[in-house]
Amino acid sequence: MKFSKIATFVGLLCFAASAFAQDGTIYPLETPSEPNAILLNTGGVDDQPASETWFRQWGDPMARNITTATLTPFLPEPGTANGAAVIVAPGGGFRWLSMGNEGWEVAEALAKQGIAAFVLKYRLHPTPESLDDFSDWMNRPRPTTPATSSDAAPRPAPMDLTNQLEDAEAAYAMILDRAIEWGVDTDRIGMIGFSAGAGLTMHSTLNSKTMKLAFIGPIYGGMGPVEVPKGAPPMFNVIASDDFLFRGQFGVIDSWFKAGIPVEFHLYQNGGHGFGLGNPNRTSNRWFDAFIHWLDVNQFLTAKAE
């Protein structure tokens, strides 16, 4: 199976149609077909009166009010697979998912490197049914968080990620179950995520009893310290210094280092938040190349000798 060219085509259409709309305004978007999406059968979302809808912002297709989790494979071309696999978790504050910028595009880039990639469209917390109400909610005034260099900076109360963890575990289980079909080495399944997707990647690492991830890549996620479980996987971590989530914190890096687990950290001069594979003229644009090099050096792209 080749990676999802149809999803790519839909995404490119969205990007082309929105080239004039790069001002951050939210526009309605017809729901794409996603023909290769596989149901994870993890249930619905309680107290969710609205159905899944899509919108466009900054030229990117995004989904909200997701009540049915899916997994979309993006597999390497025949003869190019190296056996590694990555679950890709887009971000969006657990209220929407940036499916193009932090999902399909990343998965396609991984597949071109011989890595089987799987975009996880996980369930979300409810947002207003009306797009206008959602836009108003998105643009509401928010309290500013003072900059601080302390890892003890105040953090908001944790969000319930029960549904999201179940979705991630179901995705991992499906990849295990279909590993032969998809050409996956079950000892080399990793997970990367962006923003909230980075949070889900970390939450899965810290809390799942069923996922045995070989490596993780939180990309512009939370930087606070964590309690690292025994046997946690090596971590590749990326954030830009002008990202509002950074705030001069290195807690999660320090936690991994003190636990004696391999960690690579890239703090880029600029890039802001939500840059995906990259934005024009930002130093953060080389992170993906560094990630592939890291995977290669750590032999995640090579089958282990029997």
Query: In angstroms, rounded to a whole number, what is the distance separating the alpha carbons of residues 163 and 262?
Result: 29
What one-character DSSP code corresponds to residue 290? H
Res 157: pLDDT: 63
Name the residue among 84, 90, 30 with its Cα closest to residue 56.
30
Find residue 235's DSSP bridge partners.
216, 263
Query: In angstroms, rounded to a whole number, what is the distance separating the alpha carbons of residues 105 and 181?
Result: 23
Q: State how far the alpha carbon of 45 is from the alpha carbons of 40, 109, 250, in Å.
A: 14, 31, 34
Quote the tokens at residue 128.
Answer: 């207003």
Quote the tokens at residue 153.
Answer: 């900076």
Res 239: pLDDT: 98
111-129: string of b/e by CB count within 10 Å (b at 16+)?
bebbbbbbbbbbbbbebbe
DSSP string for residues in 26-93: -EEEPPP--TT-EE------TT--SPPEEEEETTEEEEES--S-EEEEEPPPTT---S-EEEEE--ST
Radius of gyration, alpha carbons of the chain = 18
Name the residue among 175, 217, 213 with its Cα closest to residue 199.
217
In contact, 101 and 168? CB cutoff 8 Å:
no
Name the residue among 69, 278, 244, 245 with its Cα closest to residue 163.
69
Name the residue among 121, 117, 130, 59 with its Cα closest to residue 96.
121
Name the residue among 282, 284, 300, 283 with its Cα closest to residue 292.
300
Q: What is the mean pLDDT of each run of 10 residues along the chain (306 residues)?
A: 36 36 80 96 89 93 97 97 98 96 98 98 94 84 52 61 98 98 98 98 98 98 97 98 95 98 98 94 96 98 78
